[in-house]
Structure 1
Amino acid sequence: MAFFGTSKSDEEALRAAAQQGGLQQSESNPSLHRSASSAYETASEFTNDDISQVDPASIADNEHFDRYSEAIVNDHGPSHNHDDRPSTAQGTAVDDDEDNIKSFRAPSNDNVDYSNMTENELNRIATTSDTLSNLEREVTRQESRDGLVDPKDLDWDSRDDKANPQNWPLWKKWFITLSVAVDCLCVSLGSSLYVEAVPELQVKMGISQTLGIAGLTFYLIGLALGPVFASPISEVIGRRWIYIVSLPLSMLFTMGVGLAKNIRTVLVLRFFAGYFGSPPMAIAGGTVSDLWGNSPPQMSIAMAFFCVAAFLGPVVGPILGGFAAEHKNWQWTQWVSLMFSGAVLPLLCLCPETFKPAILKKRAIARGIKLEKPKLTWPLVKTMLTVFLFRPAEMLVVEPIVCLTSFYIAFVFAVLFGFFEAFPIIFRGIYGMGIGVSGLPFIGVGVGLITGVACYIALDHIKFFPKNPDGTRGNFDEDGNPIWDAPESRLLVAEVGSIFLPVALFWLAWTARESIHWIVPTLAGIPFGFGLIWVFFGIVLYYSMAYPPQYVASALAANNLLRYILASVFPLFVFQMYERLHVDWATSTFAFIAVAMVPIPFAFHKFGPTIRQRSKYGYAAYFKRLAAEKKAREEEKAAKQGQEKFVPSNDISSDSEDNQKGGSPYDQSSRTENDAEKRVAEAV
């Protein structure tokens, strides 16, 4: 079977080129966190993330970051623990003896030949790889000095280690999952609660409707920019403190909005409320991945709770905010947000840390193991910016798959936020509903979202992970290795969802009139919510399989950034659009655009393999780069061997004495931080 995006002849040519150069795995291999199913993990959340070292002989636990979208990625890959990395077992390295400390060094992967791997082997590694946190290992790791151990060299004591979140009791795992999901609900709820305050703000502050709705725009821009910095920070300090610190900060700015006396203050504080509230949306997928990475079927259910919570926020907000503004005042839209956040904060404080490196580091310190202190270096910062900002921007331009599908998801997401302006025009203007009651039609969208998630779980269990006679799920070969379908198979979900979207929009456009009962346009929200969530699931899953792991996080970051930026712009012109084109043709305009986008998933289903073969970031280009890098390393190695012939004899004897003391050639090498930084820069 050929690699993703390559024909058999191309595969043979690539392998030949790689083998001629003696392809070997570089010490650091960037890869995605699974986001848990990330990230938003994973989607963390789907992961919870992007640069890592992968040991194909013993695949590590998933440690993904990112956003709930990244989280979905990860529930499609089995997770395997590996026992060949050093554990934090008591007594293994509590002494200062240098020989014992060096026993913690991870085995080298230099003999691994990725060019001979099958498609399924490579994809299995991609979907179960470690996360961006391991980039820090490559950038900062040096020869062990003074008996210090690199924290990234630590591992679980065994597969059944009780400290491993994947081995925790079900009640504990579900408590954390639901707490994180409700946290994301509070953050997304804050975006739409404010909308119902705009009419009163217009009167009290003497502003236009467009300026008033800009408070939503600023909040969404904050949600777009926050994950760029939150995800890397979580890989350094862990996830728990991100939750505990970010929510109170967002609450402070939300309180400031409620106390603001002018629109300038409102807009600035709304931005920071969204900015500091966004981290949970970025790392929740990683948390879900930490908990459920070893059970893809259960991961699907956990991801369902997370995703439905994140998407339900914009749906529930207009309902609660409408009644609060109608029966109290506009400030109560912010007080309701504070009440929800305040109720969730104690739950987050009760949640333990789930991020593997943070748990192992804390346990190692308790056991008396001396650890190296991480160093924040420019190559690490540069790589973070590349993964989360520069490369996503480039992929939006040069990658047809990322460009078109990101605009598709962003458009659908923006239409949802455009409904914040459209629904009041329809249900207040046409049907004469009050501020509070006019938010109830959003229930239709919520029903569609919940139905879509439930149907997706069923499809996932029936088609992608069918149940086997022995009780396991998924397809396996004779050796017990997972068999993966082509990436385009996941586009089935997006194809179905793309049909529902224009149907829902035309339904709403031509039934919203006085002669037709209000329940009819309300029911149009059901197929819209269903189509929205299925298009989102299908495209994110396609990313996870269409690109090498080190580029998936960048593709997801591009999607997330564009989605929130476009959603922040739509509400600014929807009112004028409906005022000039009226409800029928304004909504039909969105429907026609949705019709024009229907062919996107179908086109990639048919032409995806060809496009991926020519992609700058696809697997074909990836293996060509590996072959070139292998050749360069071989030439560099040959040059170094030539120089060693002129090393004085006393230096050679000194090296021999060091080796006799127990240090391996790897540990006794003179590798410097600059060398590590150079390798990471070349890998990225």
Structure 2
Amino acid sequence: MSETESITARSLTLQEPPLSRDQDALQGGEKVDNVSRHPPSDQGHPAGKPSFAQLVGSRPSRQHDPAFLVAFGKGEDDCLDPKEWPLSKRCRVTLVLAAIAFVASLGSSITSPAQEAMAQDFGTSTQIMIFTSSLYVAGFAFGPSMWAPISELLGRRISLAPPLFCLGLFSIGFATSRNVASLFICRFFSGFFGAAPVSNVVAALGDIYKPKPRGVAVSLYSIAVVGGPLLGPLIGAALTEYTWRWTGYLLAILSFVASGLTVVALPEVYGPVLLHRHATKLRKTTGEERWWHPHEDIRIDFKSIVTKHLARPLLMLTTEPMVTCLCLYASFVYSLVYMALQLVALVFARNYMYGSVVSTLPFLGMFVGVVAVGLPLTLANQPYYFKMVDMNGGKPVPEARLPPVLGGGVLVTAGLFIFAWTGRGDQPWIAPTIGLSLLGGGFNSVFQNCLNYLVDTYGIYAASASSANTILRSILAACLPFAIEPMFDHLGSAKATSILGAFAGAFIPLPIIFIKLGPELRRRSRMTPKET
């Protein structure tokens, strides 16, 4: 799940040309697509790469004195750099970020066990009530288009606390709904606002960690993000024993607590905003008006937001083989989690005759797989990746990200087939639960490292590649769960799950193909940096 390498604030130095400093101050890479400012000129811009002005369509602005640029790495200003904070402080911030991301991801699945109860209350079918989960996930596709640029303009805190508060309000609206239309509207906007922590927390982690420790931090954070959808069904089932409306009330309570925690315990971590504030402070305290920072000249550019989050991602999905294949694979394994919300409940309720709460307990096995299998598989590859990067002169080596994808693909396929043929009710419950554990471990490994590969490959366009993945995975995760119950009814659980296993198995050779052909595909691409 690590998307931070394209959105990390880099250290700034006075020896660089003014334009390069401006780009770094805006966090480098494609993040400048969400904002526009007015650089002095494009002089000194590296050949062969898009200029800053070309990326955002800027006009010339007033000149600034480079000697008065407020930047990290300049004596007392260096203490402002979140990457230089004490480790204990960064760990506390990481825990806060993980907690708020857990709340938002929990909301995507907490209502799934309540579908039957809601269907009875409103006189409709359980198939229709799948929309309560699918529309929340669909909101994830649209939310980042708003919250990402806000975080880059105003900072991480302001892009997290208000959306979490609004998530709480719409969760109350869901809990008090009197008709199906209001249920669906509230769930969609809950997902729209819940997308803020899911997308921006990863960027915030990139603000406080340097590249090597960041990989470990994001891997640990991913447990919280994956844990939400996997633990949500168990919590929701327990609440539904009393009333399904408490799934909304509990999510609202947690969202309000998370919003308050963000205000109280989360400092601002976005480098450009911190330097902007420091420049303002220096002008007031010293009386010297020449102190400046490039972030002061930025503004939200609607056209560039559309380009970055819609037009270019769709173009990359249809013209870049690496984006098409890896986004499809990552999105498929991501959607398996949401298909499992329907499949696991059906298997253990119908084949094993378990009650609503007990039939959701196997999700704990899936979560154990994420922690005990997927996380170690990803971390075990870190030394190899660091070695390859060092051999490549410190530049990213995308193919070094792929070994865990290969291992994860085998685990996903094996887990699906084990679950398919041991979950017919004639085997102990532990057998299909082991299959779910392998599925969880494989999902975490495949999904996170596919994203890492795209970030390493596309450099300044990494955010668009990640947006392409967000769009596709949200569409698949919102739509595919509707197929589970009809497949279960017509084919049986074994054959229905085996079809999913066959699709997963077809993707297993993909990382091997990209290890062989990846360098040549990058050379032919118009969107990859020449140095990768």
1:329 aligns with 2:243: yes
Give 1:367's match in structure 2, choosing from 253, 259, 282: 282
The answer to whether 1:142 aligns with 2:61 is: yes
Aligned to 1:550: 460
Work out whether residues 428 and 438 of structure 1, in 8 Å CA contact, stay in contact via their aligned partners in 2: yes
**1:433 aligned residue:** 354
Deviation at 1:114, TM superposition (A): 4.6
1: CA distance, partners of 2:167 / 2:201: 16
Mapped to 2, the partners of 1:157 and 1:289 lie a distance apart of 18
Identify unmatched segments of 5+ residues in structure 1.
1-36, 68-104, 116-121, 467-473, 624-684
1:54–1:60 CA contact under 8 A, matched in 2: no
Contact 2:406–2:511 (8 Å) recurs in 1? yes
Change (3 A) 1:616 1:65: closer
1:450 aligned counterpart, secondary structure: helix
Once residues 18 and 414 of structure 2 are traced to their aligned partners in structure 1, the CA distance between those partners, rounded to angstroms, is 45
Deviation at 1:66, TM superposition (A): 9.9
Partner of 2:507: 597
Which string of whole-angstrom CA distances, capped at 9 and with x for unpartnered residues, describes residues 127-184 of structure 1? Answer: xxx9x99967x7265024xxx889x953236266221111212221111111111111
- State how 1:467-482 maps to structure 2 within 5 Å: 476=390, 482=393
Determine the structure 1 residue equivalent to 2:498: 588
SS in 2 for 1:278: helix
Hey, what's the Cα distance between the residues in 2 that align with 1:221 and 1:244?
A: 21
What does 1:70-89 correspond to in 2, within 5 Å? Answer: none
Residues of 2 paired with 1:567 and 1:540: CA distance?
17
User: How big is each residue's C-alpha offset from its partner over 1:236-269, in whole Å with a ceiling of 9 and x where there is no partner?
Assistant: 1111111111100111001100000111100001
Unpaired runs of at least 5, structure 2: 11-16, 32-37
The answer to whether the 8 A contact 2:207-2:271 is kept is yes
- Is the 2:2–2:215 Cα contact (8 Å) retained in structure 1? no
1:356-400 C-alpha deviation (Å, 9 max, x unpaired)? 1111122222222656964647xx322221111100001111111
Alignment of 1:295-306 (within 5 A): 296-306=211-221
Per the TM alignment, residue 517 of structure 1 is displaced from its structure 2 partner at its CA by 0.5
Match of 2:35 in 1: none
Q: Does 493-502 or 454-463 show the bigger shift?
A: 454-463
Is the CA contact (8 Å cut-off) linking 1:578 and 1:586 kept in structure 2?
yes
What corresponds to 2:334 in structure 1?
413
Q: CA 1:352 to 1:516, structure 2 compared with 1: closer, same or farther past 3 Å?
A: same
Aligned partner of 1:269 among 166, 186, 205: 186
TM-score by length of 1: 0.69
Conserved in 2, the CA contact under 8 Å of 1:38 and 1:288? no
**Counterpart of 2:178 in 1: which secondary structure?**
coil
Report the residue type matching 2:514 in the other structure: F
Task: Give the AA of the match of 1:188.
Answer: S
Amino acid at match of 2:254: F
Q: Deviations over 1:435-464 (max 9, x none)?
A: 111111001111111124531453244322
Helix, strand or coil for the counterpart of 1:301? helix
SS at match of 1:242: coil
Asked if structure 2 preserves the Cα contact closer than 8 Å seen for 1:319 and 1:436, the reply is: yes
- Between 1:54-63 and 1:550-559, the stretch displaced more is 54-63
Following the alignment from structure 1 to structure 2, what is the Cα–Cα distance between the partners of residues 406 and 157? Answer: 37
Q: Is the 8 Å Cα contact of residues 39 and 61 (structure 2) preserved in structure 1?
A: no
Aligned equivalent of 1:74: none
Q: Which moved more, 1:604-613 or 1:309-318?
A: 604-613
**Offset of residue 218 of structure 1:** 0.9
SS at match of 2:107: helix
The alignment status of 1:158 with 2:74, answered yes or no, reads yes
User: Which string of whole-angstrom CA distances, capped at 9 and with x for unpartnered residues, describes residues 548-588 of structure 1?
Assistant: x2221111110111001110001222111111111000000
Q: C-alpha separation between the residues in 1 aligned to 2:351 and 2:448?
A: 35
In structure 2, the CA distance between the partners of 1:565 and 1:223, relative to structure 1 (3 Å rule), is same
The DSSP-based 3-state class of the residue aligned with 2:124 is coil
CA distance in 1, matches of 2:298, 2:23: 26
Q: Over residues 599-639 of structure 1, what are the superposed CA-to-partner deviations in whole Å (9 max), with x where a residue is unaligned? A: 2222112222222222232346x99xxxxxxxxxxxxxxxx
Deviation by residue 1:268-299 (Cα, 9 ceiling, x = unmatched): 01001110111111111111111112xx3321
One-letter amino acid of the structure 2 residue matched with residue 440 of structure 1:
L
- Confirm whether residue 455 of structure 1 aligns to residue 376 of structure 2: yes
- Aligned partners of 1:61 and 1:427: how far apart in 2? 53
- Over the matched positions of the two proteins, sequence identity in percent amounts to 28
- Change in CA separation of 1:48 and 1:253 when aligned onto 2, cut-off 3 Å: farther
CA contact (8 A) 1:445 1:529 kept: yes
Q: Are the equivalent residues in 1 in contact too, given 2:223–2:370 (CA < 8 A)?
A: yes
Contact 2:347/2:423 (<8 A) preserved: yes
Number of the residue aligned with 1:250:
167
- Counterpart CA distance in 2 for 1:106 and 1:208 is 57
Residue type at the aligned position of 1:522: T
CA distance in 2: counterparts of 1:538 and 1:363, whole angstroms: 37
Aligned to 2:96: 179
Which residue of structure 2 aligns with residue 493 of structure 1? Answer: 404
Match of 2:143, SS state, is helix
Q: Write 1 or 2 for the structure with the bigger share of helix.
A: 2
Task: Give deviations 1:21-79, integer Å, cap 9, x for gaps.
Answer: xxxxxxxxxxxxxxxx954x3787xx689xxx997799957937999xxxxxxxxxxxx
With 454-463 and 57-66 compared, the bigger mean Cα shift is at 57-66
**Equivalent residues of 1:165, 1:290 under 8 A apart:** yes
SS in 2 for 1:162: helix
- Max radius of gyration: which structure? 1
Question: Any conservation in 2 of the 1:323–1:437 contact (CA below 8 Å)?
Answer: no
For 2:209 and 2:75, the matched residues in 1 are separated by 14
Q: CA separation in 1, counterparts of 2:273 and 2:193? A: 22
Task: Verify: 1:535 aligned to 2:442, yes or no.
Answer: no
Q: Shift of the alpha carbon at 1:352?
A: 1.0
AA aligned to 1:599 is P
Q: Distance in 2 between matches of 1:196 and 1:578?
A: 17
Q: Which residue of 1 aligns with 2:254?
A: 340
| 1:611 and 2:521 are equivalent in the alignment | yes
Q: In the TM superposition, what is the alpha-carbon distance from 1:407 to its structure 2 partner?
A: 1.0
Aligned residues: 509
> Are the counterparts in 2 of residues 192 and 313 from structure 1 also a CA contact under 8 Å?
yes
1:245–1:557 distance in 2 versus 1, CA, 3 Å:
same
Deviations 1:330-372 (A, max 9, x none): 0111122123223323321121111111111222222226569
SS of equivalent residue, structure 1 residue 515: coil
Q: Would you say the 8 A contact 2:39–2:59 is kept in 1?
A: no
Counterparts in 2 of 1:54 and 1:606: CA distance versus 1, 3 Å: farther
SS at match of 1:269: helix
Gap change, CA 1:277 and 1:42, over 3 Å in 2: farther
TM-score for the superposition, normalised by structure 2: 0.87
The answer as to whether partners of 1:395 and 1:555 remain within 8 angstroms in 2 is: yes
1:316 matches 2:249: no
Written as runs of structure 1 = structure 2, the 5 A alignment for 1:206-225 is 206-225=123-142
Residues 91-106 of structure 1 aligned to structure 2 (within 5 Å)? none
Instruction: Note the 1:373-392 alignment, pairs <5 A.
Output: 374=297, 376=299, 380-392=301-313
For 1:408, the aligned partner's letter is Y
Matching of residue 235 in structure 1 with residue 235 in structure 2:
no
Return closer, same or farther for 1:273/1:486 CA change in 2, 3 Å cut-off.
closer
Give the Cα separation in 2 of the matches to 1:579 and 1:65. 49
Kindly tell me: are residues 287 and 336 of structure 1, through their superposed partners in 2, closer, same or farther at Cα, counting changes over 3 Å? Answer: same
Aligned-partner SS, 2:130? helix
1 CA distance for matches of 2:282 and 2:416? 61
By how many angstroms is 1:597 displaced? 1.5
The CA deviation string for residues 200-239 of structure 1, in whole angstroms up to 9 with x for no partner, is 1111110111111111111111111100221112111111
What residue in structure 2 maps to residue 636 of structure 1?
Answer: none
Cα 1:365–1:415 shift into 2, 3 Å: same
CA distance in 2, matches of 1:289, 1:111: 27
Cα pair 1:406 1:562 within 8 Å, conserved: yes
